[in-house]
Structure 1
Amino acid sequence: MRNSVEPANQGAGVIRGQSSAGRTLAFIKKNYFLYILLAPALILTLIFKYVPMYGAVIAFKDFSPIKGILGSEWVGLKHFEKFIASPNFDVIFMNTLKLSFFGLIFSFPVPILLALMLNQVRRAAVKKNIQLFLYAPNFISVVVIVGMLFIFLSPTGPINQWVIWMTGSPLMFMSQPEYFRWIYILSDIWQGAGWASIIYVAALANVDPELHNAASLDGANLLQRIRNIDLPTIRPIMAIVFILAAGGIMSIGFEKAYLMQTSMNLPTSEIIATYVYKVGLQSGDYAYSAAVGLFNSVINVILLVTVNFIVRKLNEGEGLY
């Protein structure tokens, strides 16, 4: 009796499997246009993100453009050991870490504060004008931003005119190493904080106004309503944004750091991204620069996994994944 039942169950399982596959195929046929819209993004991601990963193998080879990737000699971790043992490693690594860490700590809360303040503006016309003013710096080129910094912070610039009036002598902002990080971070906040606040403004727009009205009737002041209504609403988004920012903590924008570099501020402005550019493209040591870049990427992955784990523990299981 048992033997006669088992084949029947197996046959039913096959039918159920075929039915599931048939439903999946029918769903794809029904929504084929959505897959067509998705295809260009998938193709671009495959070509520009996944295919170039093959080139990372040169980090483990003594790469020669003449021999190619496959023909070059395998050297294992030689280039990684060379980078870690180099006299510049401590300075470059700590410069990258400090610039990223301080940038994250000081810039992360600013978009949240802007969104909370914008959410309190009730007149639509005034709110739109403020948003336009805050979002505009995001569309200015990095080259233009750095040019503005050199003009405003030059010895004869408007800021130094005020410094001269206060102290009697100008400050060399762009040539003294101790000013580089703060100029970089503050200009980043000015340029990107308004644009980064969009996601929080959109989330706060979904808050039911009746919640605020009820809280006001119960005697809650503005800060209490923000703490108990607005912040819980955007907390999941804050967690995701923080995890992504922490995961890219070692990936500082190359262009701005390189453009702001001078021969005098190199002790604090030389980071991994600029070092890779100088070693790889200017000196032609492609294998070594690939190893440095891969080392930077591995650190980012470790930080991403670690921060996501910590946030999930502190945020009741809510994280990036």
Structure 2
Amino acid sequence: MARAEELQYHPGVGNRGEVPAFRRKWRRQWPLYAMALPGILFFIIFKYVPLGGSIIAFQDYMIFKGIRESPFVGLKHFEAFFHYSNFWRVFKNTAIIGFYNIVFVFPAPILLAILFNELRHVVYKRTLQTVYYLPHFFSWVIIAGITFDVLSTGGLFNTVRDWLGLEPILIMQKAEYFRGVIVLTSIWRDVGWGTIILLAAMSGINPEVYESAMVDGANRFRQIFSITLPLIMPTVIVLFLLNIGNFLDLSFEQIYNLLSPMTYSAGDVIDTYVYRVGILQGQYSATTAIGMFQSVIGLILVVIFNSLAKRFQEGGGIW
């Protein structure tokens, strides 16, 4: 009986015992908390605090009156955007380019990472990786300048066509080629950078798995499709969900620097419209409303595809 009484719950003792345990854990792991602190502060200051400014999407915001004194107008700016004369052209262009990015640009780093992973010559592999990484550090102004030079009348592309006896094509002045140029420049600039996370995931695969597959007679292609791809699929799904959230949020710098009056019909997207309305005309409430519209669409897509990922793969999804 005395032993049973000793094992009874005593609230005071339990509560007093938790504090030293927490302190010991804090003292042991404080470097990890310190490393995480800058990232947490970044998201709080630059991601969560600005969410309060979303209220101006429902106001006729005036700089000198501020958020508190600016008049509330409800859904006026959303309706104005939906009734914009070229709304469907802008929305269609954005959706098509976003779809092309998912279908063509997103898989490119996966394919390149697999090719890098299959290289056995270390020096050759490192050199190629560096070459493919470099364009990521070029601004879109430089990329656009190179693109215009290569595809101009006297550029490399039309020079080769002239050698073959073909007529020159002014690709940058034709709307039907604009979206293809967007896709190709996106791949050229970011395909190498996108392989970093994928190569890290591949490096975590146990080499003994490949050795066992070789003993069973699996060739390199069979190893890719039966080992590499399935084991990196959780990483691919996470990257896909992060990309699908930006489906309507395209790279303004890229499109604006490659756009010309002759390609407006295929290249005028929501971001360029926001630039004209928000920056040039100073309609901050309208641009905030459009940004909220893009964010809501991105959130819906992330929720849908996250549910599909959890349904078709165990442990899939980001939450």
Give your verdict on TM over 0.5: yes
The answer for the alignment partner of 1:210 in structure 2 is 208
Q: CA deviation at 1:146?
A: 0.6
| In 1: Cα distance, 2:286 partner to 2:128 partner | 47
The match for 1:24 is 22
- From 46, 52, 55, the equivalent of 2:53 is 55
**1-structure distance, mates of 2:51, 2:172:** 37
Equivalent residue, structure 2, for 1:172:
170
Deviates more, 1:164-173 or 1:77-86: 164-173
1:166 & 1:99 partners in 2: Cα distance?
32
Per-residue CA deviation, residues 203-253 of structure 1 (Å, 9 max, x unaligned), is: 222223332222222221221111111112111111111111111111111
Which stretch of the first structure deviates more once superposed, 137-146 or 164-173? 164-173
1:300 to 287, 298, 301: 298
The residue type paired with residue 241 of structure 2 is I
Deviations 1:12-35 (A, max 9, x none): 356435544553344224433433
Counterpart code for 1:201: L
**Equivalent position of 1:77 in the other structure:** 75
Worse overlay, 96-105 or 16-25: 16-25
Q: How much has 1:162 moved relative to structure 2?
A: 2.1
Q: How many residues align?
A: 314
For residues 13 and 266 of structure 1, what CA distance do their matches in structure 2 show? 71
Q: Distance in 1 between matches of 2:39 and 2:200?
A: 24
The aligned residue for residue 37 of structure 1 is 35
Distance in 1, matches of 2:184 and 2:259, equals: 16
- Where does structure 1 lack aligned partners over 5 or more consecutive residues? none
CA distance in 2, matches of 1:186, 1:120: 24
Relative to structure 1, the CA distance from residue 204 to residue 19 in structure 2 (aligned partners, 3 Å threshold; closer, same or farther) is: same
Match of 2:131 in 1: 133
Unaligned stretches of 5+ in structure 2?
none
Counterpart mapping for 1:245-260 below 5 A: 245-260=243-258
* Per-residue CA distance 1:35-68 (angstroms, 9 max, x = gap): 3333333223222222222221111001112211
Cα distance in structure 2, aligned partners of 1:273 and 1:19: 56
Give the aligned residue type for 1:76. G
Match of 2:151 in 1: 153
Greater shift, 229-238 or 37-46, is seen at 37-46
Change (3 A) 1:41 1:279: same
Residue 112 in structure 1 maps to residue 95 in structure 2:
no
1:92 is aligned to 90
SS at match of 2:171: coil
Distance 1:36 1:204, change over 3 A: closer
The equivalent residue for 1:241 is 239
Paired AA for residue 192 in structure 2:
G
- Residue 184 of structure 2 aligns to a residue whose secondary structure is helix
Partner SS state of residue 118, structure 2: coil
The answer to whether residue 191 in structure 2 is matched with residue 193 in structure 1 is yes
Task: Deviation per CA, 1:73-119: give whole Å up to 9, x if none.
Answer: 00111110111122221111111111011111112222111111111
Q: SS in structure 2 opposite 1:73?
A: coil
Asked if the contact 1:248/1:304 (under 8 Å) is kept, the reply is no
Match of 1:309 among 293, 298, 307: 307
The one-letter code matched in structure 2 to 1:187 is: T
Whole-angstrom distance in 2 between the partners of 1:64 and 1:84:
22
Q: Which amino acid aligns with 1:309?
A: S
Distance 1:24 1:286, change over 3 A: same
When residues 65 and 158 of structure 1 are mapped into structure 2, their CA distance, relative to the original with a 3 A threshold, is: same
The C-alpha deviation readout for 1:129-184, integer Å capped at 9, x for no partner, is 12112212112221110110011011221101223344643212112111111101
2:119 to 118, 121, 129: 121
> 1:170 corresponds to which letter in structure 2?
P
In 1: Cα distance, 2:74 partner to 2:279 partner: 22
